[in-house]
Amino acid sequence: MMSKDGLHNDTSLPSSAANTEEHNATSDNLEKTEVAATRLQNRDLFNKVPEQSSGPDPIASPKSRLKSHPWLQAHLRGLIVLGIATVILLSMITISSIRATDKPSLNQVSSDIANLSEAPAYDPGDFGRDATLTLDSVDYSEVIRNEDHCNATGAVIYAGDGIAAREKVSLLYDHHSHGKWSATGDLIIQEVSWSASKGPDTNKVLTQARVFLQRADIAERKAAKTNEKSNQTNTSSTEQDSLYSLYRDADCTLFQEEFDPETNNATIVLAFSNKDSFSERKCRLTIKFHLSSKTGQWDIKSCTPDADARKTNYAPLVGTWTGTYQSQKNDGHGCYGANSSPLKITIGSTQTNSDGTTQLTGTFSGLVHRHGAVSKDTDSSEGDARVENISFTSALETDASGALVVKYTTPKSAEGTIELMLVFGGSKTPDAASATLTTHYENEQNFLVIPYTVKSEFADSYSLSKDGAD
C-alpha cells in the first residue's frame, strides 16, 4: 500500500523492535530450564547410597593379604634369602673399606716410588749402546705393617735404547691420627740388575775390529800351550801368520748378528777381506758377548776365526796375461826377435795342498832362441822360433820381498831347455807383474870329426798385464 506521503508500508515483515523482544524471551526460557536441571542432578547425588567394594578388606590380616598374591607366596623364601645375602655383602664392603686404611694403597705406593726414584748411572762400556734411561714402569710387590709403620717394597724399571735397569727398592710409611699414610725418609735402593733388549752397538764393534783379532791370537796361543802340555799338535799362530798381522789393514764388514734376550747373549760375525792384485785372504771372526747383569756392560766371551782364516786364495792370478818385451840378458850380443813376438801366459787354476803349498797350472807361448851366440846385435837370427801352449805346473813361492814367484823349466832336449819365471808383486812393486823367458841352448856339433858343444843363453824380460783387467 502507498501511504499518504507517498511511501510504501510492508506489513508482511515484523519491525526491528518486535524481533528483539522475541529473542530476549527465548533466552530467558533456556536459562530457567538449565537451572532446574542442575538442581535436580545435585539432589540425586546427595541421596545416592554408596555401593559395596569388591576388593580386599583394608583391615584384613597379613596372612589373608598374602593369600591374595599367589606369586609372592610362591617366592617368599627366595626373597628372604636374597635379602640376607644383600645385607652380608653390604657389611663386607663396609668392612673392606675400613680395612683399606690399614695400609697405604697400591696407587699411593706406586706413585711415591715413582716420584722418589732416580735413574741409575749407566756406562755403556766399549760395546754398549749410548742411551738415556727414563722411567718405564713400577712393579708393586708388598706392604708389611708393623703397628703404626709400614714397609713397602717394589721395583722400578728404567729403560733406554737396548738396555734396562731394574731397581729393587723399599719405602717406609708412617700412619697419622687422621687415618692417612705418608712416606717417610728416602727411597732405599737394595739392588740394581741390568738386562738387554738389543745386542751390542755394531758400529762400536766394527771400530774396534782389530782388538778382536788380537784377542783371537791370544786365545789361540793359550790353547796351543795347553795342547803342547797334553802332547797334542801345536797349532799356535806365529808372529808372521797371526790374524792381526794378516788382517790389521784389511776391510772389515758386519757379516751376521744374533741376540738372545732370554740369556742376554749376543753373537756377532765380522768379515775381514785382505785383497791385493794377486791374492786375497778372507776371515770370518765369530765374537760372543754376554751382558753383565751387575754392570750393564757387554763382556767378550770368545773370539774364534774360521778354519780358512790363514789360507791365501790366489784366484786373482787365474786368467790370461800378455807380456810386453822389456829387455834381454845374453852372453855377448843381443838377439831381439822377442821384441815383435809377445809372450802369452794362461793360468788355468791354483790349488793349495794340505801342507800349505800352492800349485799353479797353465800354459805359455813365446819366442825362444835355438841358436848359438850372435856376433853382433840383431833383430832376429836363424833358429829363433815361437813355441805355443807349453804346459806347466809349478809351486807358488814367496821371496824375501814378499813377491809371489813361479819357476818352471822344460825337460831337457837336444836343443837345451826353456825356463819360465813369473813374479807377482813385492814390497817395491806391489802391483807389478813380470816374466822372464830364458833359452838355455845346447847343440852338439863336429869340427873335423872333433865333437864340441855350442851353448848360448838368452833371457828375455817382459812386463805382464792381465787381459780384461781394468
- pLDDT tens, per residue, the chain with 470 residues: 333 333 333 333 333 333 434 444 444 444 444 444 444 444 444 344 444 444 445 555 555 665 666 666 666 677 777 878 787 877 666 554 444 457 888 889 999 999 999 999 999 999 999 999 999 999 877 888 888 889 999 999 999 999 999 999 999 999 887 778 989 989 999 999 999 999 999 999 999 999 999 999 999 999 888 776 665 554 444 445 899 999 999 999 999 999 999 999 999 999 999 998 999 999 999 999 999 999 999 999 999 999 999 988 999 999 999 999 999 999 889 999 999 999 999 999 999 888 888 999 999 999 999 999 999 999 999 999 999 999 999 999 999 998 999 999 999 988 889 999 999 999 899 999 999 999 999 876 666 666 666 789 999 999 999 998 76
SS3 153: strand
What pLDDT is stored for residue 220 in this prediction? 92
Residue-range domain boundaries for the chain = 103-196, 202-312, 315-466
Is the domain spanning 202-312 CATH 3.10.450.630? The answer is yes
Q: In this structure, how many other beta carbons lie within 10 angstroms of the beta carbon of residue 397?
A: 12
CA 329 to chain centre: 63
Distance between CA atoms of 76 and 80, rounded to whole angstroms? 6
Q: Is 264 left (phi over 0), alpha (psi -120 to 50) or beta?
A: left
- On the CB side of 330, how many CA atoms lie within 13 Å of its CA? 21
- Cβ atoms 408, 435 nearer than 8 A: no
Q: Which residues contact 285 (CB under 8 A, 6 or more apart)?
A: 212, 213, 216, 243, 269, 270, 272, 303, 304, 305, 306, 309
Query: What is the value of pTM for the model shown?
Result: 0.66
Full 3-state SS string of 218-275: HHHHHHHHHHHHCCCCCCCCCCCCCHHHHHCCCEEEEEEEEEECCCCEEEEEEEEEEE
Report domain 103-196's class: alpha beta
C-alpha cell at 433: 807383474
User: 202-312: same fold as 103-196?
Assistant: yes
- Cβ atoms 283, 195 nearer than 8 A: no
